[in-house]
Amino acid sequence: MTFLRELLAVILGVFISFFIMFMVMIAIGTAIGSSFGEGEDIKVKQNTILTFKLDEIIKDYAPKSNDPFEEILGIGEKKMGLNSIINAIENAKYDDNIIGISIEINQINSGIAQTQSIRDKLNEFKESGKFVTAYADFFDQKNYYLSSVADSIYVNPVGSIDLRGLRAEMLYFKDFQDKYGVKMEVIRHGKYKSAVEPFLSNKMSEANREQTSEFLNSIWGELVDDMAESRNKTNFEINQIADDLLARNPDLALDNNMITNQLYRDQYDKILKDLSGVLNDGKLNKMKLKDYISSGKGRIRSTSKNRIAVVYAQGEIKYGKGDEDYIGQELIIKALKKARSSSNVKAIVFRVNSPGGSALASDLIWREIELTKEEKPVIVSMGNMAASGGYYISCNADRIIAEPTTITGSIGVFGILLNFSDLSNRIGINSEQIGTNKQSIGYTPFEPITDEFYEVTKEGVETVYTTFVKRVAKGRDMTFEEIDSIAQGRVWTGKEAVENGLVDELGNLEDAIRTAAEMADVENYRIRNYPEYEKDLSDLFKSSSFINAKKESLLKEELGETNYGIYSRLKEIYQFKGVQARLPYRLEIK
């Protein structure tokens, strides 16, 4: 029996080894094939219309994954990089084979600042004399905002246009906690620091209502300005249309000049043929934006040795390594060191798109920016949000540039501890602790938080807040009192932040890159993107990406989008470690 067991173990081991070797060989072959073949098989024909679908998740930076299992098993996240989209539009302006752009989006998976950046670039494209048209079966609000830049806008005759103004929604859990005996112990600084407000109350505080209303109106004002200019209307008219839902169906939208006409898809294709000069029986040359990017048009080519480094910090800030989805101090510090040590890199743009997170990780990144500034100019470009910890890691740059709709500020901190002592008492669980010293036990979720532990933790929160404000005051050349008066966890838009001194100027990533080049006194340059998201073989197997992807997909399917959102938020809060410098709440503006 022992011999048979050992024999089976050897056979199993050999089988596993061969399987691993087989998968590695496929991965190597895939990598070699993609590196040699990328862009070579995709040709841009004459008289081509570039089509925008944008149904993938749009990230500021989305390099191709080096995980071979994503491509083999088809489990990779569908994504596009904002930088590649902007570069592609820039290239299309001067591409003689591209005659125009057709926006064909029902929903766009991007933040408002990212959408505004794409829209601004499409406006530039129009100035080249080429056309931009838009068609959708239905328009949601963000999609209509983007599409309103077009010369002509068409909608399906039985479609709809949802234009009603912005809203934000928060869930409150105080009653839930009281009912089930599960409580979040909260320690915070900042009257506007409402990340933890849902666990302290059943309704929105006046301070939170004030700041939310103000930044929503500020963002909406930007969108209205752009739509009014494109549709040749006043801001008052756009707001009246939103208030009375006067674009809710194609007839009303047409009457109020919010669309050019209502058409079926085949009729829209006929218009594209007319614009292309193609006869009815001729073939319309269309190319997807993603294919155009794959052909090599997602990069701006230059032969210059000079480089402007763009270091991308995207996602929540967590203590640790970091990856494409979250900011860890290890990866960002490594990228900053690599950029400043390169003799070809003349300046660094730090692109921040983050709601914040770990105060410790934020401070470590702040320190690395301090060291980098001593050698090369550092310019921050803010994306959808650079709030709380996202602002912490931005505040000491030589210059800060934000989009008008960027969510920023939120200079405040908090700590949160899960406590289910009430629940354990109800169901008959008793916890006993034994320690060697007075403070050795500290905190346990099975007992109510003690006054002494609360005060010690509160002291830590206050220390981090004071440090945070001092960092900002030094970086912005303002006094502690001046920063404290606009801090307290208060959220601002980029436009408001310019007015109160937290941001230097409004602009997009391209503007930040141009500013970096000017500060470095270089005219010709190439862009070098960081960090490099690399995984070794052990990481690929350890990540169990296939299993995780399937698990998330099943949870979403069973719980539904709304319930899955609640689940993921509670899971996220449970994983908070240490003092948090984080955006007041998970912000989804609709």
CA 581 to chain CA centroid, Å, is: 17
Tell me if 311 sits within 8 A of 297, measured CB to CB: no
Structural contact between residues 566 and 171, judged by C-beta atoms closer than 8 angstroms: yes
Spatial separation of the C-alpha atoms in residues 273 and 276, rounded to whole Å: 5
SS3 381: strand
Give CA–CA dist 17/565, Å, rounded: 40
Three-class DSSP category at 507: coil
Q: Are the beta carbons of 331 and 551 closer than 8 angstroms?
A: no
Q: What single DSSP character describes residue 355?
A: -
**CA-wise closest residue to 495 among 556, 430, 406, 434:** 406
Would you say 115 and 143 are in contact if contact means Cβ atoms under 8 Å apart?
no
Q: What does the H/E/C string look like for 26-63? A: HHHHHHHHHHHHCCCCCCCCCCEEEEECCCCEEECCCC
Distance of alpha carbon 294 from alpha carbon 203, whole angstroms: 49
Alpha-carbon gap, residue 315 to 323, rounded angstroms: 9
Integer Cα distance of 84 and 62 in angstroms: 8
| In 261-412, beta strands by DSSP E | 261-262, 286-288, 307-314, 316-318, 326-328, 345-354, 356-358, 378-387, 399-402, 407-409
Q: Which residues are designated catalytic?
A: 193, 388
